[in-house]
Amino acid sequence: MSRSQFSRLSLCAAAIGALAITAFAIVPSRAAEEAVIIPAPAQDVQASDGLQTVVVAGGCFWGVQGVFQHTSGVVNAVSGYAGGSKGTADYDTVSTGSTGHAESVQIKYDPKKISYGKILQIFFSVAHDPTQLNRQGPDTGTQYRSAIFTTSDEQKKVADAYIAQLNAAKVYKKPIVTKVGPLEGFYPAEAYHQDYLTLHPSQPYIAYNDIPKVENLKKIFAENYTEKPTLVNSAKVTN
C-alpha cells in the first residue's frame, strides 16, 4: 500500500499498520537494504559566501526531508512540490500524478560546512534509490520520480557529471534515472507534511520506509550526521 493511500487524518491504518510493524520488527526495511555506499563526486560546486539552495525529489518527501534535517550544514529542509504550476501545488491534486509536480524537498545549506557534492552523495546513497523510474518503494507515479532541480548552471553541470560518474562506475545494478533540470518554482507543502518523520516516528510507513534512511545516514555518513534535526518550525534562515 502506498503512502498516499494512508488517510491524512489517521496515522495508522489498522490492518496494514499491524503488518508493517510486524515486518519492521522481524526483517530490515526495504530502505535499509537499498542503501548503497558510493564514491564522492569528482567535481563539486565551488564554496561561496551565503546560504545556497537546491531542490531534490526522491519519492515521498517525508523521508527525504528527514534525512536532510539530520545532515550537518543543512539549515533548513522543507517538504513541497516542484515541476508544476503554483495552481496545482496541493497534496490532493499532486497525488493524482497529472500536475507535473514531484514531491520535493528544498534544501538550504551552508557551503562552508557542507558541499553541494556531499548533498548529492547523500541523496543518491541513503535518501532514495535513483534507479527506480516514477516510483520509490511502495509509492508509484510521476509525483514520486527522482529529480534534481538546480538553481545554477554550475549545480546542473556537477549533477550531470556525477550521474555519469556513478553510471560509469556501475555502483548500481541498473542505470540512474534521475532527471536534472532548472528549478522553475518551489511550493511548500501543507503544514501537516512538515517535520513528519520527527513528529511521527512510529507511524508504520515512517518506521518501515524512512527511519532506516536516517539510520543509514548516521552509519555511512557519520561525519555529516547531526542527532538533533533542524525542523521547519524552529529553523532560522536569514538568506
pLDDT in tens, 31-76: 444 689 999 999 999 988 899 999 999 999 999 999 999 999 999 9
Chain segment 188-236, per-residue pLDDT in tens: 999 999 999 999 999 999 999 999 999 999 999 999 999 999 999 775 5
Catalytic residue among 20, 35, 60, 122: 60
| pLDDT given at position 34 | 65
* DSSP, residue by residue, the chain: --GGGS-TT-S--HHHHHHHHHHHHHS--HHHHH----PPPSS-PPP-SS-EEEEEEES-HHHHHHHHHTBTTEEEEEEEEESS-GGG-SHHHHTTT-SS-EEEEEEEE-TTTS-HHHHHHHIIIII--TT-TTEETTEESGGG-EEEEESSHHHHHHHHHHHHHHHHHT-SSS----EEEE---EEEPPGGGTTHHHH-TTSHHIIIIIHHHHHHHHHH-GGGB-SS---TTT-----
- Mean pLDDT of all residues in 170-196: 97
| Full-model pTM | 0.87
The string of pLDDT tens digits covering residues 104-123 is 999 999 999 999 999 999 99
Q: Is the pLDDT of residue 81 over 90?
A: yes
Q: What is the pLDDT of residue 218?
A: 97
Band of pLDDT at residue 4, cut at 50, 70 and 90: low
Residue 12 appears among annotated catalytic residues: no
- pLDDT of res. 3: 52
Domain boundaries, the chain: 49-224
CATH class of residue range 49-224: alpha beta
* Structure confidence by residue, pLDDT tens digits, 18-32: 333 333 332 334 444
